C-alpha cells in the first residue's frame, strides 16, 4: 500500500493482513557527489513503486527517509534506529530498508530490520520499455527474498 489516504483506509480495514513495512533510504547531497546521490534516490524511488505494486496487499511503502549524506555515521544510525523502534512498536513484524547507498551495508548489523541493498542502475539512459523490464526483473528477485522472510516467520 502506498502512503496515500485511499490505501491507508484499506490498511485500517485489514490491519491483520499487513505485517510488513518498507522504508526507502534516500541519500541527499549537494556536494561533489550530487549526481550519484540523485541516481541512487531515483533508482530506489522507481524500484519502490514496482515493489509496492507487486506486494501491495501485505506491505506499506513509506515515503522515503531522506538524509544528508554529510551527517556522521552515529547520527544516521541513531536516527534510523528511532524509526525502527517506532515501526516495531506499531506491530509490524517485518521492517525492510531499501537503499542503494553502500553506507548502510557497512552498518547493517546495527539494524534490526532487513536491509535490502541494490547497486543503482543508470536508468536515465534507458528507454521506457527496457527500464520497466529491468525493474520488474529486480522485483522478481526481491520477491523470493520477501517470501523467505515471511515463511521463516510463520
Partner 1 sequence: MSKNKVSRRQFLSYTLTGVGGFMAAGMLMPMVRFAVDPVLQPKASSDFIPTQQKVADITDVPTRVDFKFEQQDAWYTSEETGTAWVYKDDKGEIVALSPVCKHLGCVVDWNSDKANQNHFYCPCHGGLYTKDGTNVPGTPPFAPLDVYPYIEKDGYLHLGKAEPKKGA
Does 54 sit near partner 1 (CB under 8 A)?
yes
What are the grid coordinates assigned to 123, written together?
A: 536508468
> Looking at beta carbons only, is 74 or 128 nearer to partner 1?
128
DSSP calls for 88-107? HHTT-SEEEEEE--HHHHHT
Of 68, 69, 95, which is closest to residue 81 (Cα–Cα)?
Answer: 95
Does 143 sit near partner 1 (CB under 8 A)?
yes
Does 128 sit near partner 1 (CB under 8 A)?
yes
Q: In the chain, where does DSSP find H-type helix?
A: 5-13, 34-55, 73-89, 102-106, 128-153
> Looking at beta carbons only, is 14 or 93 nearer to partner 1?
14
> Looking at beta carbons only, is 32 or 144 nearer to partner 1?
144
> Looking at beta carbons only, is 18 or 44 nearer to partner 1?
18
Query: Closest separation between CB of residue 58 and partner 1, Å?
Result: 4
> For residues 10-29, which are near partner 1 according to CB under 8 A?
10, 14, 17-18
Distance linking the first and last C-alpha atoms of the chain: 22
Coil, strand or helix: which one is 127?
Answer: coil
- The residues binding partner 1 (CB under 8 A) are 10, 14, 17-18, 53-58, 128, 132, 143, 146-147
Amino acid at each position: 500500500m502506498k502512503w496515500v489516504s485511499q490505501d491507508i483506509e484499506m490498511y485500517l480495514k485489514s490491519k491483520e493482513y499487513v505485517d510488513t513495512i518498507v522504508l526507502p533510504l534516500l541519500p541527499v547531497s549537494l556536494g561533489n557527489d550530487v549526481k550519484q546521490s540523485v541516481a541512487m534516490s531515483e533508482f530506489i524511488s522507481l524500484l519502490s513503486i514496482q515493489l509496492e505494486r507487486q506486494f501491495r496487499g501485505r506491505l506499506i511503502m513509506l515515503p522515503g527517509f531522506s538524509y544528508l549524506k554529510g551527517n556522521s555515521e552515529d547520527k544516521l544510525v541513531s536516527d534510523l534506529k528511532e524509526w525502527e523502534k517506532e515501526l516495531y512498536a506499531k506491530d509490524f513484524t517485518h521492517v525492510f530498508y531499501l537503499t542503494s547507498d553502500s553506507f548502510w551495508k557497512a552498518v547493517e548489523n546495527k539494524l534490526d530490520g532487513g536491509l535490502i541493498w541494490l547497486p543503482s542502475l543508470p536508468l536515465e539512459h534507458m528507454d521506457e520499455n527496457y527500464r520497466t523490464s529491468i525493474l520488474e526483473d529486480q522485483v522478481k528477485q526481491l520477491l523470493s527474498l520477501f517470501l523467505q522472510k515471511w515463511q521463516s516467520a510463520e
